[in-house]
Amino acid sequence: MVVYGDVPWIGAILINVALVAYLALFVVVFALVMARLTTTNGPRALLAAPAVWVATELGRTYLLTGFPWVLLGYSQATVLPVAQLASVFGVFGVSALVATVSATLAFAAVATTGLPGAVPRMSQAGRPFVPLAASLTLVAMIAIWGGLRVRSATLLSGGEAIRVGLLQGNVAESDRWEGEKAAAVFQRYLDMTGQAVARGARFVVWPESATPYPFGEDLRATERIRVEARTLKVPLLIGSDQIVHGAGDSKYYNSAVLIRPDGAAGGVYRKIHLVPFGEYVPARHVFFFMSRIVQAVSDFSAGDSFDLLPVDGHRVSTAICYEIVYPNLVRQFTVAGSELLTTITNDSWFGPTSAPYQHFAQASMRAIENGRFLVRAANTGISGIVDPYGHVLARTGLFEPAVVVGDARFLRDATLYSRTGDVFAYACTALTALLLVSAMRSGRIRRI
C-alpha cells in the first residue's frame, strides 16, 4: 500500500490492523462457540469442532466482501488422494476432514487426562480413542478412494485437446506506465506470443493488466494486437484495463478480452469481485484517509455477469487475480458452461513471500473441485497448468520471464461439487446454529 498505493505509513498500518482484526474475528467466533458447547456438553462437544470451523470459513468467504485466503483445506492441495474430496464437497469438505482429525485427537487427549469436565478414565476405558480411530479410518478410506480416482484418470482422455501458451513477462509495476518502458513491455508480450505459437500453442494467455494501455483506448496498440492474432491465426486472451464511456460518467474495469484468430473481439469478461483497497475503497466515509490509494491505483467498477469466452468452438472462463480463491465464484463459470478454467493475475505486489505459492495452490484446488483443466498466467509467477486431479503439469519460478507451452483439454463432465455447490458448508453452518441454540437453552434450564 505504501509502495504501490501511495498511502502514508500510518494509513497502511491502520488498514493492515483492520485486516488482521477482520480475519481474527472468525477465530474468535470459533473459540466462543466451542467454549459454549464444551461448557454445556463437556469434552464430547469437541467433536462438533469441524462443523463449527467450516461455518466460520464460510463466513470468511462472504462477510464484508469476504477474504477466504488459505482455508484449512488448502493444506492438502498437494496431497492429491485426500484433495479429491474437493470434487465432492469443495475445499470446505477438505477443511472439515483436517479439522476432524484434530478434534478427535483433542478429544482423546482431554478425555484421558482427567482434566476438569473430562469423562472418567476408568469408566470409559478405550472409548476416548474410538472417535480418533474412526477419523483415521475415514481419512484412509478417502485416501484410497482418491488414489483410485487419480489413477483412473478418466478425465484426461475426454474432451478435445488444446495446446496452450502462457506468458510471464516479469514486468515491474513502474515499467508498465512509463513512456518508452511501456512500449517495450508491450513489444515484449507481442514477441513472447510469437514464441509460444512457434512452440505449437493454439491459444495464448497474457497475464492480468498486461497491456500498458486500456484496451480500445490506444488505437495503434489495439490494432497491433489484432494484427498479431490474424498473423498467427490463434485466439489471444489479453488481460487489460477497460474504459466504458458513458453519457455522464466513464467506468473503469479490470478485464480479460478475447481476440479471435481473425483479429475481432470475441468477448470480454469484467472482474466481478474486486480487491478492497486495491481496486476500490469500501465504506469511503470510514476510510476517508484512503483517497490517495484510489487516485494511485484507480477506482474500478465491478462486472456483473459470468461471461464465457469462445475458443475454437468451446467456452472458456477467466478468473482475474484473487477471484480464483472464491470457490463458488469459479463454480458459477462451470455451471454456465465453461470447459476450461483460466486465471490471470499480477502477483508482483506480493514480492518474494509465500503468498504467490499460496495463490497458486488455491487455484489448483479449483481444478479438482470443478473437474477442469486450469491454466494460469501470472506477470511475475507462478504461471502453470493444472489437470482436473490437481497434478501440476507445468509451472514457472518467481520473478523470471517465461513462456509456458503445454497441453490442456476442454471438458464438460460435472463433478458433484460443481452440481451441488457449497451445500456441505451450509449444512455445517446450520448444524452449528442448532448446537449453539441447544446449548443456550440447556444453560437457561440449568440456571432455573
d(CA 445, CA 448): 5
Of 57, 228, 271, 428, which one is the catalytic site residue?
A: 271
User: Does the annotation count 208 as an active-site position?
Assistant: yes
Q: Which of 57, 208, 323, 339 is catalytic?
A: 208
CA atoms lying within 13 Å on the CB side of residue 156: 12
* 156/145 Cα distance (integer angstroms): 18
* Active-site pick, 57, 228, 279, 321: 321
End-to-end CA gap in the chain: 54
DSSP one-letter string for 124-175: TTTGGGHHHHHHHHHHHHHHHHHHHHHHH-GGGGSSEEEEEEEEE----GGG
- CA–CA dist 377, 140 (Å, integer): 35
- Establish whether 181 is a catalytic residue: no
Cell of 192: 513472447
Can you tell me the distance from the alpha carbon of 371 to that of 388, in angstroms, rounded to the nearest whole number? Answer: 5
Q: Is residue 233 among the annotated active site residues? A: no
Query: How many other β-carbons are positioned within 10 Å of the β-carbon of residue 246?
Result: 8
445-to-34, 45, 212, 432 alpha-carbon distances in Å:
19, 18, 67, 20
Active-site residues: which are they?
A: 208, 271, 321
